Structure formats: structure tokens, C-alpha cells
């Protein structure tokens, strides 16, 4: 590890990665390498949890391709010096900020979208001009090996290298000094990463998880809400960091809405055999999820097959905030429904929980929408939809509090791997003498006047 990181540091110090042409070239190369190996990547992820080609393209590769294309198009603009206003005290002069790459970066990925969560942060690192050590998750072993193969066969390790492994390898990497660590995973491991980074004062981006609520108010368009929520919850069999974890449903519309949810599940034909559904990633997670299903609260579904790592799309109704299923992020195809009569009380309970990664509000009414926005702190979200905000790279994606810090995609990703030097560029035309010794009352009052104080 030490040798690898030193070789990346040496390469970074040649300044090669600072050239815009180099960055574009590497991004184009990454695009071509992924494209040329698209079928291979699809075959390998299928071995991990039977993810279909449709889902692999739409939820993994499409986002990476569009991030790369945008990065190539915008790298010049993002890397330019940006003018800032100069304050009166510093005239005559110019002020600007210069983005510079942080240096040698470490990207640690999660398994649930193994390609997207490895390649997208790597794109941000490359466009910013960093070198990359990428450690995908060992929990999706075939996808991790596929990433390692296509990158390590095509890139110089002193610039971009994939290191495979689990806890021991990640711990060894975290002992080394990086200039940036970008981590996607659980809040528990996020804390370990943050502590390790603190030793070297390395800046971090932490993309973590949590329990993301969805509010379904009485003015919501229930049919559309059910359709969008069932897709958002059961895509990837619920193994999505921004999946609606649980629903908060106005009591007055509960019966009608639950009926619509069930009919949407039926219409969706979720089956691993037809490619509309995926397996749970491993036996341990399947067991964990099965233990969360309270048989007394099953409204729909609930059947499972441990050997096949399959759990039916499941709806639990009459759930209470005190129930076991509300203790941790579900990260699987179980959807608990909590009903409410009093929106304010419900908002207060959500506020007492860790800040979620996402929050979704289904309503036709601005007051309710604005009230929830104003009161609850969360990473990002949607009104009348769920999950889809991740597909808009015009804004950053990230959490807050226990759901993470920092954001990425598009220009936010560039910023995550950059430092902005603030430069005052002084003219030699003349120099006001007021700051120089000897001090005088007159100079002091002039300074106060100039500063408006
Ligand atoms: P995880 O935290 O178990 O693992 C993430 C990475 O950390 C893996 O590469 C793993 O090898 C490494 N790791 C695990 N234990 C470690 C340890 N003790 N020391 C050092 N490294 C360690 O998470 P996961 O199971 O892969 O992913 C699920 C979690 O990730 C969920 O909480 C989910 O919400 C979250 N997630 C967040 C986002 C996001 O963008 N915010 C995206 C996907 C997943």
C-alpha cells in the first residue's frame, strides 16, 4: 500500500494530472473502457445478485456515462480561475480563486450499486485532477473483481489503481496518508473512516445511509404516489441508500392508499426470473431482513426463501415508531406504514431521529411542503417523487449529520476533490500608506471610514 501511494504521490507531483487535456483524455479513456466491457460488467454483477441488464444500465452505467460526459464538457469551465470582488482596502488589485486538485485520493465504495458507487466518485476525482486508489466493496465480489480487472488492465497504477479487499485491506489503506478520502457506506463504518482521516487531517466526503421517510398527505395524488413509491422502494429489492425506508400516511387516506400500493406491486411483476427484481446480496442480510418482518403486521407479501436470497415485496401496516423495524435502516424490500393524525407530532418525532439522507413529500399543497422543508433537516429529496433527485447532476448529492457530509456528482464532485486557493493579486500602481508605521489617530479614523465601521 505504501509503495502504491508513494508512486501516486510521485506521479501527482509531476503535475501531469493538472493539465486539462490529460484529465479529458483519462475521462475519455474511462468511458471507452467501461463501454468496451459493458457486457462483461453486466455478466459479473448478475453473478452477485442477479441484477438485470436493464437495471444495470439504468441505475449504474447510465449515471456514470452521463457524469463522464458532463465532466469532459465542463472540466475547462470548472477549473478556471474565478473572479471575486476586491474590497476597498486592497485596491488597486484583483481577487480570484484557483481550484487545485487535492492530490492522492482514496475512494471506498459500497456494494449495493457497485459500479455507480465506485466509478462516479472516481470520475469526480479525475476531473478535479487527483490520482485515485479505488477500493470497491468485497460484499459484491464479482463486481469488485470486474472493476479491478478493467481498471488495472487499462490504467497506470501510479495514476488510477483498484485495490480489492475487505476490512483488513481497507484498514491498511486508512492507515496511510491520503489527501482526500471519499467513502460510501454505513454510518458505523463512516465513523471509522472519519477517525482514521482525522489522524492525517485528511478531508473527507462521507456518503452514508439512514432511515429516509416519505410523507403521504391527504392532498397527495394517491395513484401517482403509489406508482412512484413502489418503483423507488423495490428497485434493487430495496437495497438503495435513498429508498423510502418507511411511509408516514395520513390516517384519512390509509385504506385507499394501501390498496393502491398493493395493486402497483401486482402490476410490477417483481420476479428475479424476469429481471424485474434482484436477490438480497448475501445470506446474512437476508436473515437480517427476515428477522425484521413482524408476522402480525404483514399487510402484503412477507414470503421469503433464504436459500435463494429472496424476499417478496412486503408491506407492513399499523407500524409504530417504537417497533423493531424502526430501529435501523431497512435496506431491503420491506415497507412499513405508520399512520398519523397529527402532522406536527409526526414531524417532531422524525426530527428527534438521526438526520435522514432523503425525505419525500407527496402533497398538492405548498404550506405542508414548506413546513416539512423548514422543520426537518435531511440530505436531499423530492416532492411527489422519490429517489429521482439523484439523477439530476445539476445539484449535488449527499447527506447531513449522521447521513453524511459533503456532496458529489457534476460540479459538486469536482469541488469535493479540489481546494480553492484565494488569491489577492495586487497592482504596483500605488500604495496607500495608512496601514504602515508610525500609527496615528488620523490613519485609524481613515481605516474605520474605509471599512465602514
Ligand atoms: P459498509 O459500511 O459495510 O461498507 C462500505 C465499505 O467499507 C466497503 O468497501 C467495506 O469493505 C468497507 N468496510 C466495512 N467495514 C469496515 C471497517 N470496519 N473498516 C474499514 N472499512 C470497512 O456499507 P455497505 O453494506 O457496503 O453499504 C450499505 C450502507 O451504505 C447503507 O447504510 C447505505 O445506506 C449506505 N449507502 C450510502 C450511499 C450514499 O450515497 N449515501 C450509497 C449507497 C449505500
pLDDT tens, residue by residue, 327-341: 999 999 999 999 999
112 CA distance to ligand 1 middle (Å): 9
**How far, in Å, is the centroid of ligand 1 from the Cα of 326?**
20
Number of neighbouring beta carbons within 10 Å of residue 264: 19
* pLDDT at site 432: 85
pLDDT at residue 82 above 90? yes
The confidence band for 38, taking pLDDT boundaries of 50, 70 and 90, is very high
Choice from 115, 136, 186, 236 to test ligand 1 binding pocket (greatest atom count within 8 A of CB): 186
Q: What is the pLDDT of residue 309?
A: 97
- 6 and 119 share a domain? yes
- Residue minimizing CA distance to atom 39 of ligand 1: 207
- The per-residue pLDDT for 450 is 87
Tell me whether residue 442 is in a domain.
no
User: Is pLDDT of 154 > 90?
Assistant: yes
Distance (Å) from CA 423 to ligand 1 centroid: 38
Residue closest via CA to ligand 1's atom 8 equals 137
**What is the grid cell recorded at 360?**
419525500
CB-facing half-sphere around the CA of 217: CA atoms within 13 A: 21
Total number of domains constituting the chain: 2
Same structural domain, 372 and 236 = yes
Torsions phi, psi for 419 (to 5 deg)? -115, 145
What is the residue range of 257's domain? Answer: 213-398
Task: Give the atom of ligand 1 at the shortest distance from the alpha carbon of 136.
Answer: 9
Dist CA 214 CA 220 (whole Å)? 12
Is residue 432 included in any domain, yes or no? no
Cα 185 to ligand 1 centre (Å) = 2
Write down the residue that cell numbers 435463494 correspond to. Answer: 308
Q: What percent of the chain lies above the pLDDT cut of 70?
A: 100
104/15 same-domain check: yes
- Are 354 and 411 in the same domain? no
pLDDT digits (tens, 9 = 90+) for 106-115: 999 999 999 9
Active site residue ranges: 207, 241
How high is the pLDDT of residue 244? 98
The answer to whether residues 194 and 272 belong to one domain is: no
Pocket-testing residue among 1, 185, 330, ligand 1, by greatest number of atoms within 8 A of Cβ: 185
Nearest CA to ligand 1 atom 9: 137
Please give the average per-residue pLDDT across 220-224, as a whole number: 98
Distance (Å) from CA 186 to ligand 1 centroid: 4
The per-residue pLDDT of the chain, averaged, comes to 97
As a whole number of angstroms, the distance between CA 412 and CA 418 comes to 10
What residues flank ligand 1, with Cβ below 6 Å?
A: 108-112, 117, 135, 137-139, 166-167, 170-171, 184-186, 189, 192, 207-209, 241, 329, 331, 357, 399, 404
Could you report the per-residue pLDDT of 114-143, keeping only the tens digit for each?
A: 999 999 999 999 999 999 999 999 999 999
In a domain, 43, yes or no: yes
What pLDDT shows up at residue 185? 98
At residue 393, the pLDDT reads 84
Q: Which atom, in ligand 1's list, is nearest to the CA of 207?
A: 41
Burial 217-238 (b: 16+ CB within 10 A, else e): bbebebeebbbbbbebbbbbbb
Q: Are residues 240 and 268 in the same domain?
A: yes
Same domain, 189 and 124: yes
Amino acid at each position: 500500500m505504501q509503495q502504491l501511494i508513494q508512486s501516486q504521490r510521485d506521479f501527482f507531483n509531476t503535475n501531469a494530472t493538472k493539465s486539462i487535456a490529460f484529465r479529458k483524455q483519462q475521462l475519455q479513456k474511462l468511458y471507452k473502457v467501461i463501454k468496451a466491457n459493458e457486457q462483461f460488467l453486466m455478466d459479473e454483477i448478475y453473478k452477485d445478485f442477479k441484477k438485470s441488464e436493464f437495471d444495470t444500465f439504468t441505475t449504474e452505467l447510465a449515471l456514470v456515462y452521463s457524469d463522464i460526459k458532463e465532466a469532459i464538457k465542463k472540466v475547462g469551465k470548472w477549473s478556471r480561475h474565478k473572479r471575486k470582488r476586491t474590497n476597498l482596502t486592497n485596491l488597486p488589485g484583483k481577487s480570484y480563486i484557483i481550484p487545485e486538485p487535492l492530490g492522492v485520493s482514496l475512494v471506498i465504495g459500497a456494494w449495493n450499486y457497485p459500479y455507480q458507487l465506485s466509478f462516479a466518485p472516481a470520475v469526480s476525482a479525475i476531473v478535479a485532477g487527483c490520482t485515485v486508489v479505488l477500493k470497491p466493496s468485497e460484499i459484491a465480489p464479482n463486481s469488485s473483481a470486474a472493476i479491478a480487472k478493467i481498471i488495472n488492465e487499462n490504467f497506470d497504477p501510479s495514476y488510477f489503481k483498484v485495490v480489492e479487499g475487505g476490512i483488513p485491506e481497507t484498514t491498511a489503506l486508512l492507515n496511510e496518508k491520503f489527501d482526500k478520502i471519499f467513502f460510501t457506506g454505513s454510518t458505523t463504518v463512516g465513523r471509522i473512516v472519519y477517525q482514521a482521516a482525522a489522524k492525517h487531517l485528511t478531508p473527507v466526503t462521507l456518503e452514508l445511509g439512514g432511515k429516509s421517510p416519505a410523507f403521504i398527505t391527504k392532498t397527495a395524488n394517491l395513484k401517482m404516489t403509489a406508482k412512484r413509491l413502489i418503483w423507488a422502494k423495490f428497485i434493487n429489492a430495496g437495497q438503495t441508500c435513498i429508498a423510502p425506508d418507511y411511509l408516514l400516511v395520513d390516517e384519512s387516506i390509509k385504506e385507499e392508499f394501501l390498496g393502491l400500493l398493493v395493486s402497483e406491486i401486482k402490476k410490477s411483476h417483481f420476479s428475479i426470473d424476469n429481471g424485474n427484481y434482484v436477490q438480497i446480496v448475501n445470506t446474512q442480510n437476508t436473515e437480517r431482513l427476515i428477522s425484521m418482518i413482524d408476522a402480525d403486521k404483514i399487510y402484503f407479501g412477507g414470503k421469503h426463501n433464504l436459500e435463494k436470497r429472496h424476499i417478496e415485496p412486503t408491506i407492513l401496516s399499523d407500524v409504530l415508531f417504537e417497533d423493531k423495524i424502526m430501529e435501523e435502516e431497512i435496506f431491503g424490500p420491506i415497507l412499513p406504514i405508520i399512520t398519523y393524525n397529527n402532522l406536527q407530532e409526526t414531524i417532531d418525532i422524525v426530527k428527534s431521529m438521526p438526520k435522514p439522507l432523503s425525505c419525500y413529500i407527496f402533497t398538492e399543497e405548498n404550506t405542508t411542503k414548506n413546513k416539512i422543508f423548514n422543520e426537518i433537516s435531511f440530505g436531499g429529496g423530492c416532492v411527489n417523487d422519490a429517489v429521482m433527485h439523484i439523477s439530476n447532476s445539476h445539484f449535488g448529492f449527499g447527506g447531513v449529520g449522521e447521513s453524511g457530509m459533503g456532496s458529489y456528482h457534476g460540479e459538486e464532485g469536482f469541488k469535493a476533490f479540489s481546494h480553492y486557493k484565494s488569491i489577492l493579486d495586487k497592482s504596483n500602481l500605488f500604495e496607500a500608506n495608512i496601514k504602515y508605521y508610525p500609527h496615528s489617530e488620523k490613519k485609524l479614523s481613515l481605516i474605520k471610514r474605509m471599512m465602514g465601521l
